[in-house]
Amino acid sequence: MRINRLDLTRYGRFTDAILDFGPRPVGSADLHIIYGPNEAGKSTTLDAILDLIFGIGNTSRYGFLHPYNTMRLGANVQVAGQAREFVRIKRAQNSLLAGDERSLADAEIRADLGGIDRDAFSTMFSLDDTTLEKGGENILASRGDLGELLFSASAGLSDLSRHLVAIRADADGFYKFRGRSGLLGDLKARLTELKQKREELDLQVTEYRKRLTELNRLDALYDRALTERANTKRQADEINRVLSALPTMKRLTALRDQFDALEIVCEPPSSWSSELVEIRKGDIAVRVRLDEVGRSIQEVEKEITQTVDDRVALGLSARVADLTKILEPRYLTALVDIPKLSGRIAELSVEALLLQLGKGDEITPARLVLDAVTIGKFRALITERSGIDARLSSASQELKRAQRALEDEGESVSPFEEFESPGRINAFKLLAATVRALPRSDDALAHRSLMRRCESMDVVLSQNLAQLAPWRGTAGELAMMAMPSPAKLDDWKSRYNEGRDRVKAAQADLGRLEPEVRRMDVEIDLLRARAGEIDEASVAASRAARETAWMSHRKTMDATSAAAFETAMRADDQLVTQRLIHFAEASKLAQLKLTRASVASDIEIARERLHAAERCLAEVRSEMSGALAAISFGASLDPAELEEWIRRRAIALRTREDRLAIGQEIADIRDRVEQSKKQLLAAMQGAGVAGNVDADLATLFSAAEQELDLFNLAMDHSDRLRRLTEEITERTSARDDAMKTAREWDASWRELCDGCWIGEEQQVPDVGAVNGILQVLEKLATAVEARDGLVDRVQKMEKDRMSFEAAVFELCDRLKVEHSGSPTELARIIAERVKVAERSQEQRHKLAKDLERKRESERALVVERDIFDARMNEMTTFFGCVNADEVEAHISLFSKRQALQSSIVELEQGLVEISRAKGIAEVEQQLALADREALEEQLEALTPALEDQDKTCRDLFHERATAQKAIDAIGGDSVVAEIEEQRRTLLVEIEERAGRYLELRAGVTAAEQALKLYRDRHRSGMMTKASEAFRTISRGAYTGVAAQPSRDGEVLIAISAHGGSKSADELSKGARFQLYLALRVAGYFEFVANRPPIPFIADDIMETFDDFRAEEAFRLFAQMAEHGQVIYLTHHRHLTEIAQKVCPGVLLHDLETIQSSLPVKAMAAE
């Protein structure tokens, strides 16, 4: 995880501030220093990073400027291998958004954190004074398993143990040693329950066998009881039968006697008894009806003779009908209509019409009526006439108007004759086309503006060239100049920078070392001054002098030598004594000299480095000036300046190119104008228009246009004259046509008038007269036609009246009726006569039919009577008797015999059945022997025995049924099978869960054991790392840390350089903080060793560190920054310098700059 950019959009004091950490640097440490004085927002930045990753807390204290609901952080974060945009707003849920405002799971931004929570992160990797100390104290205070603590924090698996406990709990849910509850117990309980249920419901084989045996026993007992009971019952039944047969036998004997007493009769057909009744009833009815029919025949015959027959009237009935239905209505109509029609004839005024026509004396008015053809022709001509008149008058008017127009225009000669030749017209047309075709663009305008731009460009170019000082020359020379390649330039740059850095470093070393040498020199001098010549050399010299003196004294052994030796010895002793006195100074002196020598050598080395670096710089410079000999820069040319010069040269060259381009454009415009002018002049010459060759294009254009206007005017005038002349010709011919048509019409009119009576007059009538005549003629034709129709109808009616009267009188004569009364009354009398005659004829017909029917039924009745007589005769003959009553007596006797016979047979059969005998004879024999009383006694004795046996049977039956029911109750149902199935499923479940339990337990155990091993191993790695870090930060004051077993587990102790050890709480505050930091550094290295890197952020945690320790701390940070992003926030300027010194690649961010750029941004936004 790496923060590439942090947007403090609305957070705390920040508005739209952006901290851009840039991409991860390649090849150098990813270390960032954020500098800001107090109140610049360092802590805010630290918290912003935490809030970005873990969410803005409920009661955030950064809502003072921007209210909670507007707070917003953004970032570009490298996470899980890709750079992603994130936004964090303050909200209870879904507060993490993607760049496109889509909400994201928090895990997305924390993917690389390995489950570290906010607390752990701020304790380990996001430090300020407080957390550094508090976290450190926690580590110390825990006094527990230090390895675990370190491990937890570094591996991000602080929850590991908790998870393992949860898994173990999961397993224990199934079964736990000595646990009271658990699934296994429940399942077992259910098993037991099912087993019990099964036992209640099921029937096993052995039990079944027992029940079956019992059933068989009961079966046998029941069968025996049944047999005994049946025997007793049979005996009793036998006695009962005999007893019940005795009364029946007695009745049978009585019936037999009765039967024998009856007379024997022949057996008649069975239907006779009913037939006899019917015959006797039918015979009487037939005779009564015969009498009735005879009487009614006589009555009808009498009525026929009384009816009249008027044959004359009947013969005339057709004519009378004709008279009343046809002739009489016509007669009546004629009487009414004749006077009415005569009146209407008189009303018609044919004469008046004739007078209107001036033909009062016309005898046959019909002659005057014109046929339809003639009338049609008249009407057509009349219509046509009005059109002809209109045409004639309009043609004349238009002709006059045209003539007037021509006069107005003036028929004089055209003032524009000079243009009339075709050659000139063509030349003018060409001129017009040329004027149209030539572009009248803003060339002149463009030309002017380009000239102005050209001038200003020249100025810019000369300025640009001036910028290139000290180089002097023209733009052309500049363009031709050879330039070093960008790669070469980069090379120079890097080498130059490197050289410069090295020079700086060497100078810094010298600056530090040289004063130190001087200090030492002074110190040595002082020591020397204080202790005299006590250094090794003078001691050695004195010792040598003493030895020499001794040697010479041994040789000579005289007083001189002795004195010399004594002096030498004393001097030596003196020196030794001096040395003994100043021994401490001496050793310090020696130490100082040693140190001075070493520092002097360092200085030498630094000087050499300085020279080498300077040489390197000189080399680069000489290379540069060699490559750019033409420019003659000063000796102190640096590649950055060179690069700047090259950039300016590029600008100058670009300006030159632009200038050239504009020059080209100006030339183009000039060429275009010349060309146009040439074309225009040629065209003008052709049209005879004078044009000044030296005039400019615009002047030429206006001259040409003026001439063209004149030409166009002339053309228009001649066009108008031509059109008017043509129009007059046209109009004259139209008028002549109209007059000719009028003449033709007059001829037709006359001809038509001559063809009818209208032409009889001397003068041919005009259109108006004929129109009047035609209207009167229409009325006349109608009147004549109506009069003729009426006269015809009056004549026909007269004829009808006469024919009716003749017919009436004739019929009166035929029927001998007197002619007294009107013909209509007579006609009614005649009709009445005929009607009466017809009615009596009809009456006679009806009576004759009635008579015929009655005679027919009389004949049928006679036949019926004969049949009855014949059947009666048959019966009397059969029985040999005379009348119907006797026949009836015979039949009833026969019926009685038959009834007796059947009763006897029935009784006999009953007896045979009761006695179970073969025939009635056997029965009679048995019963004859039976003694009633003896039998009754026997029966009485049997009854109680039978009752006993009945009870036994019933009891046994009940017992047997119960047993059978018990067996049947087993049934083939599936209850037990279902229970078995449930039991099996439970067992499978237990097996399954037990397997899982074992797996989980096995897994948890393995994980626990592995975890222990893992911790042991990593603890030592962590301790080593922490020791190294502590040694580095403390600049060797402490060699490391160690864990020491104690009463409560382990405690952390610091090992000092002198070999002593101190527990952490005994350390000075500075040393303690260094230890705390060392632990974090170790943790960081442990964390990133095997997983994606995460940022490490610290906010001024080095308050208690001196500069040297701070330097070492930064060195560690730089090492950490090789793995991941390290951000250090500080308000100490000198710390930034130290950081830069330790790690030249460090990136500095100034919070104040970020802040000061804000108003600009805000304004831009507004």
Shortest distance in whole angstroms from residue 206 CB to another protein = 8
The residue (of 208 and 583) whose beta carbon lies closer to another protein is: 208
988 lies in the binding site for another protein (CB under 8 A): yes
Q: Which of 387, 280, 1110 has its CA nearest to residue 738? A: 387
Site for another protein (CB under 8 A): which residue of 1007, 1042, 1055, 1158? 1007
Q: Which two tokens stand for residue 736?
A: 């002549």
Q: In angstroms, rounded to a whole number, what is the distance separating the alpha carbons of residues 836 and 840?
A: 7
Strand 1038-1046 relative to strand 126-128: parallel, antiparallel, unpaired? unpaired
The residue (of 37 and 115) whose beta carbon lies closer to another protein is: 115
* In the block, residue with structure tokens 């954020």: 34
Site for another protein (CB under 8 A): which residue of 292, 778, 955, 991? 991
Phi, psi angle pair for 369, to nearest 5°: -70, 125
The residue (of 463 and 985) whose beta carbon lies closer to another protein is: 985
The residue (of 261 and 969) whose beta carbon lies closer to another protein is: 969
Site for another protein (CB under 8 A): which residue of 218, 438, 575, 990? 990
Shortest distance in whole angstroms from residue 1158 CB to another protein = 39
Shortest distance in whole angstroms from residue 1046 CB to another protein = 27
Do residues 296 and 810 make contact, with C-beta atoms less than 8 angstroms apart?
A: no
68 lies in the binding site for another protein (CB under 8 A): no
Strand 126-128 relative to strand 96-98: parallel, antiparallel, unpaired? unpaired
Q: Which of 1024, 1017, 1035 has its CA nearest to residue 1108? A: 1035
Q: In angstroms, rounded to a whole number, what is the distance separating the alpha carbons of residues 1068 and 1071?
A: 5
Site for another protein (CB under 8 A): which residue of 352, 437, 998, 1148? 998
Piece of 123-131, 625-633, 795-803, 985-993 that binds another protein (CB under 8 A): 985-993
Site for another protein (CB under 8 A): which residue of 973, 1058, 1163, 1166? 973
1021 lies in the binding site for another protein (CB under 8 A): no
Shortest distance in whole angstroms from residue 219 CB to another protein = 14
Could you tell me which residues come within 8 angstroms of residue 420 by beta carbon, excluding any fewer than 6 positions away?
414, 718
The residue (of 165 and 769) whose beta carbon lies closer to another protein is: 165
Site for another protein (CB under 8 A): which residue of 557, 1013, 1164, 1165? 1013
Segment 210-249, which members bind another protein (CB under 8 A)?
212
Give Cα separations from 207 to 203, 262, 893, 960, 967 (angstroms).
7, 82, 82, 17, 10
Site for another protein (CB under 8 A): which residue of 99, 315, 821, 995? 995
Shortest distance in whole angstroms from residue 1005 CB to another protein = 6
Site for another protein (CB under 8 A): which residue of 971, 1163, 1164, 1165? 971
The residue (of 575 and 1022) whose beta carbon lies closer to another protein is: 1022
984 lies in the binding site for another protein (CB under 8 A): yes
Q: In angstroms, rounded to a whole number, what is the distance separating the alpha carbons of residues 765 and 172?
A: 143
994 lies in the binding site for another protein (CB under 8 A): yes
Shortest distance in whole angstroms from residue 200 CB to another protein = 13
Residues, the chain = 1166
Q: Which of 387, 371, 349 has its CA nearest to residue 774? A: 371
DSSP 632: -
Q: List strands edge to edge, sheet with 1061-1063.
A: 1038-1046, 1049-1056, 1061-1063
Segment 155-214, which members bind another protein (CB under 8 A)?
155-157, 159-160, 163-164, 167, 175, 177, 184, 188, 191, 202-205, 208-209, 212
The residue (of 160 and 265) whose beta carbon lies closer to another protein is: 160
The residue (of 581 and 975) whose beta carbon lies closer to another protein is: 975
Phi, psi angle pair for 1041, to nearest 5°: -125, 160
At 412, is the secondary structure helix, strand, or coil? coil
Shortest distance in whole angstroms from residue 998 CB to another protein = 5
Could you tell me which residues come within 8 angstroms of residue 1052 by beta carbon, excluding any fewer than 6 positions away?
139, 140, 146, 1041, 1042, 1043, 1044, 1063, 1064, 1075
Site for another protein (CB under 8 A): which residue of 558, 813, 981, 1066? 981
Which helix (H) or strand (E) element contains residue 486?
Answer: helix 486-531
- With left for phi above 0 and alpha for psi between -120 and 50, is residue 156 left, alpha or beta? left
The residue (of 976 and 1037) whose beta carbon lies closer to another protein is: 976
293 lies in the binding site for another protein (CB under 8 A): no
Phi, psi angle pair for 638, to nearest 5°: -120, 155
At 72, is the secondary structure helix, strand, or coil? strand
Segment 903-942, which members bind another protein (CB under 8 A)?
none
Do residues 771 and 382 make contact, with C-beta atoms less than 8 angstroms apart?
A: yes
Do residues 138 and 145 make contact, with C-beta atoms less than 8 angstroms apart?
A: no
The residue (of 18 and 164) whose beta carbon lies closer to another protein is: 164
847 lies in the binding site for another protein (CB under 8 A): no
At 1129, is the secondary structure helix, strand, or coil? strand
989 lies in the binding site for another protein (CB under 8 A): yes
Shortest distance in whole angstroms from residue 970 CB to another protein = 5
The residue (of 199 and 1106) whose beta carbon lies closer to another protein is: 199
Q: In angstroms, rounded to a whole number, what is the distance separating the alpha carbons of residues 717 and 722?
A: 9
Q: In angstroms, rounded to a whole number, what is the distance separating the alpha carbons of residues 60 and 72?
A: 12
Shortest distance in whole angstroms from residue 117 CB to another protein = 11
CA distance between the termini of the chain: 35
Shortest distance in whole angstroms from residue 82 CB to another protein = 14
Site for another protein (CB under 8 A): which residue of 978, 1103, 1106, 1122? 978
Site for another protein (CB under 8 A): which residue of 173, 282, 910, 1003? 1003
Shortest distance in whole angstroms from residue 108 CB to another protein = 12
Which helix (H) or strand (E) element contains residue 1056?
Answer: strand 1049-1056
Residues 1046-1085, mask of contacts with another protein (x by CB under 8 A): ----------------------------------------
At 35, is the secondary structure helix, strand, or coil? strand
Site for another protein (CB under 8 A): which residue of 415, 972, 1045, 1059? 972
Shortest distance in whole angstroms from residue 960 CB to another protein = 17
Shortest distance in whole angstroms from residue 148 CB to another protein = 12
Q: Quick one: CA torsion of 386, 389, 390, 391, rounded to 10 degrees? A: 120
119 lies in the binding site for another protein (CB under 8 A): no
Site for another protein (CB under 8 A): which residue of 326, 540, 836, 987? 987
Q: Is the dihedral of CA 186, 187, 190, 192 positive or negative?
A: negative
The count of residues interacting with another protein (CB under 8 A) is 65
149 lies in the binding site for another protein (CB under 8 A): no
Q: In angstroms, rounded to a whole number, what is the distance separating the alpha carbons of residues 152 and 158?
A: 4
The residue (of 936 and 991) whose beta carbon lies closer to another protein is: 991
The residue (of 209 and 530) whose beta carbon lies closer to another protein is: 209
1014 lies in the binding site for another protein (CB under 8 A): yes
Instruction: Return the exposure string of 328-355: e unless at least 16 CB atoms fall within 10 Å of the residue's CB, then b.
Output: bebbeebeeebeebeeeeeebebeebbe
Do residues 265 and 897 make contact, with C-beta atoms less than 8 angstroms apart?
A: yes
Q: In angstroms, rounded to a whole number, what is the distance separating the alpha carbons of residues 668 and 441?
A: 14
Shortest distance in whole angstroms from residue 1089 CB to another protein = 9
DSSP 425: H
Task: List interacting residues with another protein (CB under 8 A).
Answer: 107, 114-115, 151, 155-157, 159-160, 163-164, 167, 175, 177, 184, 188, 191, 202-205, 208-209, 212, 970-978, 980-985, 987-992, 994-995, 997-1007, 1009-1011, 1013-1014, 1090-1091
